[in-house]
Structure 1
Amino acid sequence: MQSIGIIGVGEIGRAIVEGLRNGGGASPDVFLSPRGARTAAELSERFEGVHVCADNQEVVDRSEVVIIAVRRQDHHEALAGLKMDDDMTVVNLMAGIATDDLRRTLANGAPIVRAIPLPAVRERRSVTVTCPSHPVVDSLFEQLGGVLPVADEGAFNVFSALTGTLTAHYAYLATLTSWATGHGIAPDAADRYVRGLFQNVGRSLSDETRPLYQLAADHETPKGNNERIRTTWFDPANTAALKKALDGLLVDLQ
């Protein structure tokens, strides 16, 4: 693959470009849409072989693979009237836009692959879910941290819903620091300690020999502090509320 186009240069588009360019070695030319003009211009200035196009049609014309990363509510406007050959490969990053929906908008027979790259692709350490498996697209995301192909959009939407929990995790950590501050701990000390605490937890996730429930058990002492918080705060009602929220999001994504 010699060239990649990105229509919609937001946080994920930026992360993909940075991941491709920060890994060393040869990487394809990248053609960016003027949408997200400030980010596109900054990336073009930082990296050789990254170009800002005049419009979305130029992105398509100069690329072998086109990544569509606009907000789903904007995709009709952004893609209307685009002309692309059936041998183009399209990567759809828009949550909630099914393959059939996008095909109707594009009105062509080009293969469409859905994908869920996360910001950590910039460091090449994020597994990207794809649907369906496609050799070119899977190879692209394999070099950005790994790829997890799934066969159908039902399974893909479940993974998409899981990504909706990320900011809840950050808010959870912020609540911990706020609680500590309320008990007299300096905000910077509370922030530093919570970050360090959960960075260590994150590193333990790299041990794939232990399932997640086992990691939880291994970090608990019977009747200890961790068990007390888990069983009193993350109780069956709290668990049910989380699953209900995910079920609602999944319905919207479908």
Structure 2
Amino acid sequence: MTTYGVLGVGSIAKAVVTGLCEGVAAPPELVLSPRGAATAAALSGRYETVRVAEDNQAVLDAADVVLVCLRTTDTDVLADLTWRPDHVVVSATAALGVPRLLALVAPATRVCRSVPMPPVAERAGLTAVHPPLQEARALFDRLGSTLEVEEVAAYEALSATSATLSGFFGYLATQTAWLQRQGIGAEDARSYVAATYAGALGQLEGGAGFDELAAEYATPGGVNEQVARELRESGAYVALDRALDGAHHRLATE
């Protein structure tokens, strides 16, 4: 069975480990770096097949597939490690292109980029991978499913849209705060907003397009239509488009 090593144990690494182990009859062996010590210790205490290595090199020495979850500013440490030619390297680090990754992990040559998101903890993620790599598909199919992307430009565009989640939750927080100003209790406000969107997102299971659903909710002359129109006229959607352009530019590495 494949042994996975994880360099950098933050929120995404935690989600990956949880998805691989929680409620799984035969979870894989995972070796975590001591970076993110509290999270790593908690995961190793919870799952029998997870252990924390003494240092980053010990992770590599034990692993077949190495998942890199370091911050972009910390990736130079990869060059200080001794890699094997048979290592498979799956990077979840933003703005770390394949040419740079190859230089950092030589003599390993089987590498790819990926965008695992928090739903992998529930094995409900769709993880973009570039370039396609069998070992990466095997990993992320265990965590939901895999979207293999041949072209780097397409991969970076997908990565940019994944950067909208904080803004999405900010959108929900704005509604919750508005309800509280109208006298609704904080817990009731949060529960109502969460239930509204959870129910609406359930409609995506039928394969309907977003434009189709937007039109369905926007009854002519209705309040949904009014709010959508005011957002559009205020430039909210144009601002989102610009933000995506900015994220895409920042993520462009090759």
Q: 1:2, 1:28 within 8 Å by CA — same for their partners in 2?
A: yes
Q: 1:85, 1:110 within 8 Å by CA — same for their partners in 2?
A: no
Q: CA deviation at 1:72?
A: 0.5
Gaps of 5+ in 2: none
Q: CA deviation at 1:23?
A: 4.4
Gaps of 5+ in 1: none
Q: CA deviation at 1:211?
A: 1.1
Distance in 1, Cα, partners of 2:12 & 2:146: 16
Answering whether residue 107 of structure 2 is matched by residue 108 of structure 1, we say yes
Q: CA deviation at 1:67?
A: 0.3
**In the alignment, which residue of structure 2 is the partner of 1:231?**
229
Answering whether residue 218 of structure 2 is matched by residue 212 of structure 1, we say no
Answering whether residue 169 of structure 2 is matched by residue 170 of structure 1, we say yes
**In the alignment, which residue of structure 1 is the partner of 2:248?**
250
**In the alignment, which residue of structure 1 is the partner of 2:3?**
3
Distance in 1, Cα, partners of 2:24 & 2:188: 37
TM-score (norm 2): 0.95
Q: CA deviation at 1:28?
A: 1.6
**In the alignment, which residue of structure 2 is the partner of 1:48?**
48
Answering whether residue 127 of structure 2 is matched by residue 121 of structure 1, we say no
Identity of aligned residues (%): 37
Secondary structure at 2:5's aligned position in 1?
Answer: strand
Distance in 1, Cα, partners of 2:219 & 2:126: 32
Answering whether residue 73 of structure 2 is matched by residue 90 of structure 1, we say no
Q: Map Cα deviations across residues 120-152 of structure 1 (whole Å, 9 max, x no partner).
A: 101001100001111121021012011101002
Answering whether residue 72 of structure 2 is matched by residue 65 of structure 1, we say no
Secondary structure at 2:6's aligned position in 1?
Answer: strand
Q: Which runs of 4+ in 1 moved over 4 A?
A: none
Q: CA deviation at 1:173?
A: 0.8
What root-mean-square deviation, in Å, do the aligned CA atoms of Structure 1 and Structure 2 show?
A: 1.4
Distance in 2, Cα, partners of 1:108 & 1:2: 20
Secondary structure at 1:67's aligned position in 2?
Answer: strand
Secondary structure at 2:30's aligned position in 1?
Answer: strand
Aligned-partner residue type, residue 52 of structure 1: V
TM-score (norm 1): 0.95
Q: 2:44, 2:52 within 8 Å by CA — same for their partners in 1?
A: yes
